Amino acid sequence: MIRNPVLPGFHPDPSFLRVGDDYYLATSTFEWYPGVRIHHSRDLVNWRPLGGVLNERRLLDLSGVPDSGGVWAPDLTYANGLFHLVYSVMDHYAHGYKDVANYLVTAPAIEGPWSDPVRLPGRGFDAALFHDEDGASYLLNMVFDSRPGGGFSGIELQPLAGDAPPRLILDNRSVTEGPHVYRIDGWYYLMVAEGGTGYEHCVSVLRSRSLEGPYEDDPAGPMLTSRHDPGLELQKAGHGSLVRTKGGEWYLAHLVARPHSPRGRCVLGRESAIQRVEWTDGWPRVAGGVPAVEVPAPALPPHPWQETEQEWSTLRRPATPDWVRFDGGQVTINGGQSPYGRRAPSLVARRVTAERCTFAANVTFEPVSVHQSAGITAYYNSRNWYHLALTTGGLVLTGSDRGHRTVHFTAEVTPTRLGLELDGPVLRFSYDGATVPVELDATVLSDENAEEFVEGLVRSFGFTGAFVGLWVQDLAAEGCQATFTDCQLADADADADAAVQGGV
């Protein structure tokens, strides 16, 4: 059986691809490096991380991008012996404007090397490619109109080569985005995400005999949604992508979320799941139109992977030796900007993938100024985080809830090991085995808490998920360095206790 979510924690907007016997999922990474995570499977049950594609500034520059900006909704395809990766980079999305650029990179193998990015039209985001049977390729994207009263304006199609103008093939209906086209048995199927990426999210499918339309809706309604049943374990189901196995079976990858309470806050962020698809009256459909936690796997030989080291991610800048160095189980970090700085923060972290987990690390740090601190963090974005840090004043636990900072605990001690425990909606910190006598609200680190609106216009989105990791600050750029060893992240809901060691 396939157990959902197949990619737990912050892994949204999956793009699903099969090449021969290999299956790939590419997911959004927003303000985190490496950009566009790839996971690989041979049976749709067992998945292994292949790392991120956009791992250097040549391929991606995230300096200054807002929280939940950066890389949106990648699309991974294969044609003419090359992998094609299309991705949007959102530099600004607030107050009714979208400053977005779409790019294409290619590679002969999934491991690379990847070409320099080619700029594509940027009239909207969620860009994707469709490779037709005659060899022609087309660019799809949603259209965003930033004029007052504008907004989501439908889905457009444009030949990738030549000077032909784009053509609108579907009007906006309800936050229509995330387009993918498939040609099957003489029909063009247009799959879109609708309803927004929250609790009204869904996957809709339309079809036409012509690539340019007109497209008609599946009379059965949305292919997949959780909107009608708050009791489902998997909520926010939407943003889908189809794959056909070599044996002719069909599956849908899509995003989901798991709130702590019905329609409540989602600390783990948006995750990736897979559903089995059956064809009925010429339409691809999921049983009941709702996401299942357990799904029959395809008729493929089981293919488990050898367990690999878990990866670090870095915030807004790639992991380069000028500020972070990995040496076996040791991580050395030079201090960076404040929590609200968007150019050069020094934060190295890993996704939280279970409601209950622990994280701990040994830290060696000698601050010489009030502007310096180093320690561990439970982090969502620049306005929502907790930080247990060594400072010149001793040990300090600070939290930020929508930008409002609170000092929760101080102690005149210099511990050598810092830890935290996520226990559902509760967060606890510890030092040298002693528990900090404060229970914190873990749901501060949620998509819902990160969302902020001013006079009906978005100020900040919440599209990522909770991280735990290592954070060093040097606010006056005076020069400081911290060393971390024995970094351990353990899923309390599982028997495995995997060490977070090694490189990115």
Q: Are 90 and 65 in contact (CB under 8 A)?
A: yes
Virtual CA dihedral for 397, 403, 404, 409, nearest 10 degrees? 0
Nearest residue to 86 via CA among 98, 101, 72, 76: 76
- What percent of the chain lies above the pLDDT cut of 90? 91
What pLDDT shows up at residue 36?
98
Q: Are 319 and 312 in contact (CB under 8 A)?
A: yes
DSSP secondary structure letter of residue 114: P
| Cα 196 to Cα 174: distance, rounded to the nearest angstrom | 8
What pLDDT shows up at residue 124?
92
Catalytic sites, residue numbers:
13, 177
What pLDDT shows up at residue 148?
86
| Cα 297 to Cα 302: distance, rounded to the nearest angstrom | 10
Q: Are 200 and 35 in contact (CB under 8 A)?
A: no
Q: Is 343 left (phi over 0), alpha (psi -120 to 50) or beta?
A: alpha
Q: Tens digit of pLDDT for each residue in 378-400?
A: 999 999 999 999 999 999 999 99
What pLDDT shows up at residue 504?
39
What pLDDT shows up at residue 494?
65
Q: Are 41 and 322 in contact (CB under 8 A)?
A: no
Q: Tens digit of pLDDT for each residue in 464-497?
A: 999 999 999 999 999 999 999 999 999 987 644 4
- pLDDT band at 459; cut points 50, 70, 90: confident
What pLDDT shows up at residue 328?
87
Which residues lie closer than 8 Å to 219 by C-beta, 6 or more apart?
none
Mean of pLDDT values over 71-83: 97
Q: Tens digit of pLDDT for each residue in 178-234?
A: 999 999 999 999 999 999 999 999 999 999 999 999 999 999 999 999 999 999 999
Residue type, 86: V
Residue type, 5: P
Q: Tens digit of pLDDT for each residue in 348-361?
A: 999 999 999 999 99
Residue type, 478: E
Residue 454, pLDDT above cutoff 70: yes
Report the SS3 class of residue 288: helix
Computed over every residue of the chain, the mean pLDDT equals 95
- What percent of the chain lies above the pLDDT cut of 70? 98
Please provide residue 394's backbone torsions phi and psi, each rounded to the nearest 5 degrees: 105, -155
What pLDDT shows up at residue 503?
38
Residue type, 48: R
The pair of three-digit structure tokens given for residue 149, joined into one six-digit string: 């009263």
Q: How far is CA 47 from CA 35, 43, 84, 339, in A?
A: 18, 8, 21, 33
Q: Are 314 and 504 in contact (CB under 8 A)?
A: yes
Q: Tens digit of pLDDT for each residue in 296-336?
A: 999 999 999 998 877 999 999 999 999 999 998 999 999 99
| Cα 196 to Cα 177: distance, rounded to the nearest angstrom | 8
Nearest residue to 291 via CA among 224, 229, 244: 224
Nearest residue to 60 via CA among 314, 325, 316: 316
| Cα 436 to Cα 407: distance, rounded to the nearest angstrom | 13
Residue 256, pLDDT above cutoff 50: yes
What pLDDT shows up at residue 16?
98
The pair of three-digit structure tokens given for residue 400, joined into one six-digit string: 């930020």
For the stretch 50-80, what's the b/e string if a residue is b when 16 or more beta carbons lie within 10 angstroms of its beta carbon? bebbbbeeebbbbeebbbbbbbbbbbbbbee
Q: In what order do the strands lie in the sheet with 128-131?
A: 128-131, 137-145, 151-159, 167-170
All structural domains of the chain, each given as residue ranges with its CATH number in brackets, are 2-295 (2.115.10.20), 313-491 (2.60.120.200)
| Cα 202 to Cα 304: distance, rounded to the nearest angstrom | 31
| Cα 368 to Cα 476: distance, rounded to the nearest angstrom | 12
pTM of the full structure: 0.95
What pLDDT shows up at residue 502?
38
Q: Tens digit of pLDDT for each residue in 121-154?
A: 878 999 999 999 999 999 999 999 999 888 999 9
Report the SS3 class of residue 445: helix
Residue 100, pLDDT above cutoff 90: yes
